[in-house]
């Protein structure tokens, strides 16, 4: 047996040992949708999606929406179920995941599964046409 053949067999054996652990749900094999990040950025709301009520955009992994009443809300853009980017729904002032239908209220709280963990919400502060989004 050559060295190359030996290393190939050892590598295959190690991979076979790890597969059952991933199948039964070993925590290190699951996708991690939890993140601890400091959010601090500014957006110009004089034009684009945030210039009108009901508009939204994703910036720095945060979805920022302008409600129908003209206030701004911001939450993590990734659904806590599987990490798909959520969308803002202006008529209900809520967020929905287009992948599996999870719904969140304006504060990021789960209102319908399959997500079971709320989205992180962020503070917003408007000064003129500059919107500050921060943790």
Average pLDDT over residues 82-89: 93
pLDDT(6) > 50: yes
**Rounded Cα gap, residues 28 and 26, in angstroms:** 6
**Rounded-to-integer distance, Cα 125 and Cα 112, Å:** 29
* 93 vs 5 pLDDT, higher one: 93
What is the pLDDT averaged over residues 24-36?
47
| CATH, domain range 40-134 | 2.102.10.10
**CA atoms in the 13 A half-sphere facing the CB of 85:** 10
pTM over 0.75: no
The pLDDT value recorded for residue 32 is 45
Distances in Å between the Cα of 100 and the Cα atoms of 13, 52, 81, 113, 125 are: 36, 28, 9, 8, 32
pLDDT > 80? residue 122: yes
Q: How confident is the model at residue 124 (pLDDT cuts 50, 70, 90)?
A: very high
User: Whole-angstrom Cα distance, residue 15 to residue 117?
Assistant: 32
50 pLDDT tier (thresholds 50, 70, 90): very high
Tell me the domain boundaries of the chain.
Answer: 1-30, 40-134
């Amino acid at each position: 047996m050559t060295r190359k053949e030996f290393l190939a067999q050892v590598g295959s054996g190690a991979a076979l040992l790890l597969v059952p652990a991933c199948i039964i749900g070993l925590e290190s094999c699951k996708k991690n949708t939890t993140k601890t990040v400091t959010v601090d950025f500014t957006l110009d709301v004089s034009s684009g999606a945030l210039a009108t009520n009901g508009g939204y955009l994703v910036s720095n992994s945060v979805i920022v929406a302008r409600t129908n009443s003209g206030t701004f809300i911001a939450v993590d853009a990734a659904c806590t179920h599987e990490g798909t980017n959520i969308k803002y729904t202006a008529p209900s002032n809520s967020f929905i995941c287009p992948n599996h239908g999870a719904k969140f209220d304006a504060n990021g709280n789960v209102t319908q599964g399959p997500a079971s963990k709320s989205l992180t919400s962020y503070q917003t502060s408007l000064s003129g046409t500059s919107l500050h989004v921060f943790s």
